[in-house]
Structure 1
Amino acid sequence: MSGYLDKPQSHENSDAKARRKLQDQRRMEYRRAIESYAEQRQLQHELIDFPELIATSYLHSLQVGSKKDASATAR
């Protein structure tokens, strides 16, 4: 009879473990999102001090993009 009583408990334990695992996954996803947001804000804050780097990077990306477009149309 004790074997009969153990089965529902093990089922409840596995449900609880699955629920905890899902909660942990959600918690970690939320934590990663917060960390990513904080890193992006920190990077933006650091880049504000150097606007010439932003402009140079933007111009460089435009030049690289136009070279790729020119080589693609030449084929």
Structure 2
Amino acid sequence: MAQPYEERNSAVKTRRQQEDQRRMAFRRAIEDHDNQRQLTLETADYPDLNAINYWQAAPASGRRSAQPAH
């Protein structure tokens, strides 16, 4: 038996949303990689920075925003 139009339309819409989310996640990953590569290229001329470069030394989960003093 054929599915009602609303059910088919809803399934198609859900599938398209999931595909869009996967595409956007992939696009963000590419942009993040490109940004990291660009930062590495820009700082390559300063070898002293490589030892103390915060972005390379600190894991993403360890980064925190500065808290204002009270």
Q: How do 1:29-68 and structure 2 match up within 5 A?
A: 29-55=25-51, 57=52
* Residue 22, structure 1, aligned to residue 15, structure 2: no
* Unmatched runs of 5 consecutive residues or more in structure 1: 62-75
Write the deviation string for residues 16-72 of structure 1: whole angstroms up to 9, x where unpaired: 0000000000001000000000001001101101111223x17xx7xxxxxxxxxxx
* Unmatched runs of 5 consecutive residues or more in structure 2: 58-70
TM-score, normalised on structure 2?
A: 0.67
User: Residue 53 of structure 1: SS of its match in structure 2?
Assistant: helix
**Higher helix proportion (structure 1 or 2):** 1
Indicate the structure (1 or 2) with the bigger Cα radius of gyration: 1
Measured on the aligned residues, the alpha-carbon RMSD in Å equals 2.1
Instruction: Calculate percent identity across the aligned residue pairs.
Output: 47
Q: In the comparison of the two structures, how many residue pairs are matched? A: 53
